[in-house]
Amino acid sequence: MLGIDTGGTYTDGILMVYASREVVVAQKCLTTRRDLSLGIEAVIQGIPMADPSAIRMVSVSTTLATNAIAEGKSGRVGLLLIGYDPELIASFKMESRFATEHYYYFAGGHDLYGQEKAPLDLPAILERVAAIKDQVDAIAISAYFSPLNPEHEHRCFRAIRGICDLPVVLGHQLSSKLGSVERATTAALNASLLGVLKAFIVAVRRAMERRRIAAPLLVVRGDGTLMSAAFAAAAPVETIHSGPAASAIGARALSGRDDALVIDIGGTTTDLALIEQRQVTISENGATVAGYKTAVKAADLYSIALGGDSHIRLEGDRRLAIGPARMTPIACLADQHAGIQSHLQTLMQRRRSLIEPEALEFWFLLRAPDGAAAPPTAQEKALVAFLGPGPRPLPEILAHLGLFSRQQVETDHLDRHEIIGRAALTPTDLMHVEGVYTAWNREAANCALQVMARCRGCDPKTLADEIRAKITATIVHATVCFLTGATLALSSETKASGDFGQWFFHNSLRDDHPHLGTRFALRQPIVGIGAPAGILLAPVADALHTELILPAHHSVANAVGAAAGSIMVAEELIVYPRVAADGLETVGYYVQTKEGRQLYDGLQDAMTAAREVSRERAFGAALRSGADNPQVVVEERPDGLDTYRIRATAMGSPRLARRRRPGKTPVSDDVRRARRRSEVAIDGGERGEISHGTG
């Protein structure tokens, strides 16, 4: 099996033996942010394998969805809100939570009992869609209480598909929760990601084919389970947080621990997750991405902007700061450009007052701008020309451009197209100085540390200790916040502030009060993941008085997690009462699936039917998603107002590709299935809707 993870800095690939979960080869490539598929293609091309046709499954976790939303690179969406109360939404100022500017209100929707609240205003909807259809890439629909009765969403879907070819996403198919704003946000984000994920999957499969890998492609969900690529293309919003979730699954697979705190130190961020009884804990509330609260089920995570490539710098008052920006380590830059080390050596000779704190930040050209990436402004052109011959320190750049502060330099465009890069002192450089990691120029890292120490007015050893203490404090702080849900400002002020929370936190970290000893004691071990975990987490484990486990291959645990996950499909049905016209008497119970509802006389009959139907649907869906012999668990819980939720979860290991015999090209399962499918296509179009553009 091939597992791949695209992180913020590195794209990792591993080759794993399925039965024994043994990692055979691991490969790391730099992530190409402008087009993640380039990094994936590099990993698939680069990973050494004797017989690519022996690969029977490929599984990918990706930050693509999260990045696209955060960077505004996703598609434009028209969001149709049916039966929502515009005044209510406005009074809570919730419009900004819809994740699109194009949202429109229409009459319609259902009530708490699944009864029509108002007739659906289809003519108005079609008129609006006709007006906006050339300005958006997809349509999202969310109707009030649609999980209880999706009739209006279905009618809209049918009508809209009758007048235009845009993909249409229905809210109730993504979430059976009743929170109407979260459902609308989820539908809108999902619609905006359709094109992004489709392009990504096409690129991955193209790279697979180039290596002659003929195997099913699976994508990791935000809760660490797997789904088929076709499913992911229809529900891209479910890939939110898939990277950190995969790392937690990988940590569990590699360490064999059933209960642990997983700390994954990447290049850009550090992510915390918890494993309890062999499972990654899932957040009860939906995942939040780029400030948008969704109804997507995802791993319970805590993420901080601190990683191996975080920017270590001195601020104006020479105070030490780490992150949040991601930098190329100086050791790495000096490895590629000979001038850097001698430049640093000159700096070391300079008088302290002449060393600016920004002197350690270098900018350089990553690649020559071309076509669409050509710099649009004169300032950017001047910058690119100035960096042409080689990297320059920031003070020189500012002097050349005649500016005073870096805030005056507009580099958004150049950053987005990955034309300029920045290098500075990072934790990775510190690892070079200490000799624990020496892939690049150690001497340059050493010089940089000395320059910073000189600027700060201390010796390098003290500075290194301070940096490490700060990193430790940051991670311990994150751990405490994650596990307790408490919030506490992380200040570098010590216990003198008089605030009890601050005193307690800092005393527990150092435990140097003459009379009162306090300390943190984590009950579970820490499983460290990521390349810098070894050096950065040892003091964290000490501070938390627990054991640090660094499993073999921990630096590629995310990719392991991608390959080690199980396929899961959940089907949730809602059983709720049908009330008589006077609203006082219950005259039966509905069983509501995603497509329609069925009425039963008694609650017992309804519940029995719901259990059976949910079990069957989950089982079938898991088989279609590529699970082998899925096991189904049915749970039920009351949801107030005589309403019950029956949830069937089908889980199974991925069904692996059969090895093909060379010579004959068989008609693939896809085509065979498509043929069968085409026989019932119209039927599907009439009733069981497919909510996304299927051609």
Partner 1 sequence: MELVEVDTRLAYETVREKIVSLALAPGALLNEQALAQEIQTGVEPVREALRLLVYDGLVTFTPRHGIYVADINLTDLEQLSEIRLTLEPLCARLAALRCGQDEWTVLEALRAQQLAADPQDSQRLLDIDHKFHQALTRAAGNKYLARSLDLLFGLSQRLWTVVLPKLDFLSDAVAEHLEMMDAIRHQDADQAEKLMYRHVKTFYDRVRRILQTGK
| Residues in contact with partner 1 by the rule CB under 8 A | 122-123, 126-127, 130, 155, 158-159, 162-163, 198, 201-203, 205-206, 208-210, 214, 217, 229-230, 233-234, 624, 665, 667-668, 670-671, 673-675, 677-678, 681-683, 685-686, 690, 692, 694-695
What is residue 85's three-state secondary structure?
Answer: coil
Residue 629 phi/psi, 5-degree rounding, is: 45, 60
In angstroms, what CA-CA distances link 412 with 108, 289, 376, 404, 420? Answer: 43, 21, 11, 18, 10
Burial class (CB in 10 A: 0-12, 13-18, 19+), 173: buried
DSSP string across 428-493:
HHHHHHHTS--SS-HHHHHHHHHHHHHHHTS-HHHHHHHHHHHHHHHHHHHHHHHHH-------S-
When the beta carbons of 513 and 675 are compared against partner 1, the nearer one is 675
Phi, psi values for residue 277, rounded to 5°: 50, 50
Question: What is the bridge-based pairing of β-strands 260-265 and 226-228?
Answer: unpaired
Closer residue to partner 1 (CB): 44 or 99 = 44
For residues 230 and 464, which CB has a smaller minimum distance to partner 1 in the complex? 230
Specify the residue, 206 or 381, whose C-beta has the smaller distance to partner 1: 206
CA distance 695 to 686: 15
Where would I find the beta strands (DSSP E) of 89-130? Answer: 102-106
CB of 10 to partner 1, least distance (A): 25
**Complex with partner 1: residue 360 or 621, whichever CB lies closer:** 621
> Least CB distance from residue 138 to partner 1, whole Å?
15
Report in angstroms how near the CB of residue 114 gets to partner 1 at its nearest: 19
Peptide bond between residue 514 and the one before it cis (omega within 30 degrees of 0)? no
**Which token pair is 649?**
């979860």
CA atoms in the 13 A half-sphere facing the CB of 61: 36
Q: Which of residues 638 and 688 has its CB atom nearest to partner 1 in the complex?
A: 688
Q: How far is the CB of 165 from partner 1 (least distance, A)?
A: 9
CA distance 400 to 409: 12
Alpha carbons within 13 angstroms on the beta-carbon side of residue 500 total 0
Closer to partner 1 by CB, 484 or 665: give it. 665
Q: Which is nearer to partner 1, 208 or 453 (CB)?
A: 208
Nearest residue (CB) to partner 1, 191 versus 453: 191
HSE, side-chain direction, 13 A CA sphere, residue 167? 22
Alpha helices (H) along 497-645: 500-510, 533-543, 557-564, 603-624
* Spatial contact of 643 and 575, defined as CB atoms under 8 Å apart: yes
CB of 686 to partner 1, least distance (A): 6
Question: Which has the closest alpha carbon to 365: 345, 335, 385, 339?
Answer: 385
209 or 258: CB nearest partner 1: 209
CB-nearer residue toward partner 1: 211 or 554: 211
In whole angstroms, how close is the CB of 198 to partner 1 at the nearest point? Answer: 6
Q: Which residue is associated with the tokens 């805590």?
A: 302
- In 232-366 the beta strands, taken as DSSP E runs, fall at 260-265, 270-276, 279-280, 288-289, 292-293, 302-304, 310-314, 320-326, 328-329, 362-365
CB of 242 to partner 1, least distance (A): 17
Nearest approach, Cβ of residue 365 and partner 1 (Å): 27
Enumerate the β-bridge partners of residue 329: 424
CA dihedral (122, 126, 132, 136) in degrees, to 10, reads: 80
With vertex at residue 496, the alpha carbon angle to CA 493 and CA 499, rounded to the nearest 5 degrees, is 85
Copy the structure tokens of residue 65. 């969805």
Q: How far is the CB of 104 from partner 1 (least distance, A)?
A: 15
Residue 91 CB-half CA count within 13 A? 5
Nearest distance in Å: CB 116, partner 1: 14
Measured from the Cβ of residue 637, the count of other Cβ atoms closer than 10 Å reads 8
- At closest approach, how far in Å is the CB of 667 from partner 1? 7
Report, in Å, the least distance between residue 669 CB and partner 1. Answer: 9
CB of 685 to partner 1, least distance (A): 8
Residue placing its CB nearer to partner 1 in the complex, 511 or 670: 670
Residues pairing with 58 in the sheet: 2, 217
Rank residues 276 and 595 by Cβ distance to partner 1 and give the closer one: 595
- C-beta of 162 vs 402, nearer to partner 1: 162
DSSP element (H, E) containing 648: strand 644-654
Rounded to the nearest whole angstrom, what is the least distance from the CB of residue 684 to partner 1 in the complex?
Answer: 8
Q: How far is the CB of 46 from partner 1 (least distance, A)?
A: 18
d(CA 148, CA 111): 8
Looking at the Cβ atoms of 52 and 390, the one nearer to partner 1 is 52
